[in-house]
Amino acid sequence: MQIRPGNPEFLDLPWEQPISEWVHSRIVDMPTGVHRHPVRFVAYEEGIYAIKEMPVRLSQREYRVLVALEERTHRAAEPAGLVLRGWLDPHDEPSAAVVTRYVEHAFPYRRLVSGTGFGARRSQMLDAVAGLLVELHMAGCYWGDCSLSNVLYRFDAGGIEAIMIDGETSELHPSLSPGQRLQDLEIMKENLAGEMADIAAMHDVEVADADLGLGEDIAGRYEALWVELTSELVIARNEGYKIRERIARINDLGFAVHDIEIEPTDAGDIVRMVTHVGGRTFNTDKLRELTGIEASENQARLILSDLNYHLCKEGDTTPTAKSVGTFKWLTGVYEPLVQRIAEMWHGEDPVQGYCDFLNHRMILATARESDVPNAEAFESWVADGFPGFPLDDGSRPTPELLRPAPSS
């Protein structure tokens, strides 16, 4: 048994039995999708953990990939341990198990299904799955089995965050070739077409009327985002501002820029800029650094906007004033509101509730054409039944941030 630091030892679990036969006080029921291998959940003081049984080879591969991915992306399940049952045939299903931390506030895709598809959340699903694939591919991860069932989802301000949870078919490389990326996309499209056909069949709808083009549309969003993040920029030596614009545009997409290579060309006064992009955690990392708040990327972007709004309103412009103002906002605004939300709101994630509240406050302020105090906006939000973000009708072909940048 290999257990990573910071997790329980799991020695009180009946490992001599297949997990499907376990009867134990630590077993809990959690939302989960369709899996080809047995999965159970157990609760400890350190948190809730998922245990998935697989043959030894698959378990070792998944565990190895998840451990390596921790340094490259935050969009994969966090590995906690690997259990090998050496007394069993290594090809048997219960011969090994991978233990991962349960993804908080996450749920399977069927919670988002509306009728025979995703309805008004379709555009969010396109962005979520495309963004996940781009981030994994940029981390050198060939998935090999992307499907709706192999992903968990959670609300992320006005969007949805997708997290890979099944990696037994995955491979890690220094980088992926165009052929590997294309093959991964083809597998994704085939898997999603099958899943959408299954959803249609559950509603007694003909396969021809199922949303079989979901995977194709995800691939389209993927390609647009990939080009935006990886294309080279050729500029004149006196156009340094375009470098700042490029970095800002990548940050707007939520990705961090690790470093930049500027190479001369044969033209002399022309240089080529290559950006090396990291994970999609730019705003998450910035919010954590400033406040200690843990939030997903879109949540962090919105909360940072609220913090900056507060600092501007209070006139905190110097570095010292901003540090003091951030502490006052955290203890006097954010934490009290999140506490009230946790006590009153029907949702599971108070941080998402705070984002819903901020969106409601913005709607009120836009209608009034002036600022709305938090107390008044909160009372209105509660009275209106805690409304969330309005849903996209799915008509836009490409996310706003992925439209071509204006030419200079």
122 and 207 inside one domain: yes
For 145, the token pair is 């089995």
Rounded to 5 degrees, what are φ and ψ at 76?
A: -140, 155
CATH code where residue 93 lies: 3.30.200
Q: Structurally, how many domains does the chain consist of?
A: 4
Buried (b) or exposed (e) across 54-91, using 16+ Cβ within 10 A?
bbbebbbbbbebbebbeebbbbbbbbbbbbbbeeeeee
Residue 205, phi-psi category: left (phi > 0), alpha (psi -120 to 50), beta (remainder)? beta
> Under 8 Å CB-to-CB from 150, ≥6 apart: which residues?
33, 164, 165, 166
Q: What is the pLDDT of residue 392?
A: 62
Give the domain extent around 93: 2-101
Beta bridge mates, 79? 100
114 and 224 inside one domain: yes
Residue 320, phi-psi category: left (phi > 0), alpha (psi -120 to 50), beta (remainder)? alpha
- DSSP H or E segment with residue 195: helix 178-202
Q: What is the pLDDT of residue 279?
A: 78
Helix (H, G, I), strand (E, B) or coil at 206: coil
> Under 8 Å CB-to-CB from 275, ≥6 apart: which residues?
229, 233, 246, 247, 250, 257, 260, 261
257 and 346 inside one domain: no
Report if residue 374 sits inside a domain.
Answer: yes
Helices (H) and strands (E) in the chain, counts: 11, 13
Q: What is the pLDDT of residue 162?
A: 93
219 and 251 inside one domain: no
Report if residue 398 sits inside a domain.
Answer: no
Entry pTM: 0.83
Let me know: does 262 contact 239? Beta carbons within 8 Å: no
Question: C-alpha dihedral over 177, 133, 73, 7, to 10 degrees?
Answer: -120
Q: What is the pLDDT of residue 401?
A: 44
| Residue written as token pair 């007394």 | 87
220 and 119 inside one domain: yes
Q: Which residue stretches of the chain have pLDDT < 70?
A: 33, 267-268, 392-408
Measured CA to CA, the distance from residue 164 to residue 172 in angstroms comes to 14
CATH code where residue 144 lies: 1.10.510.10
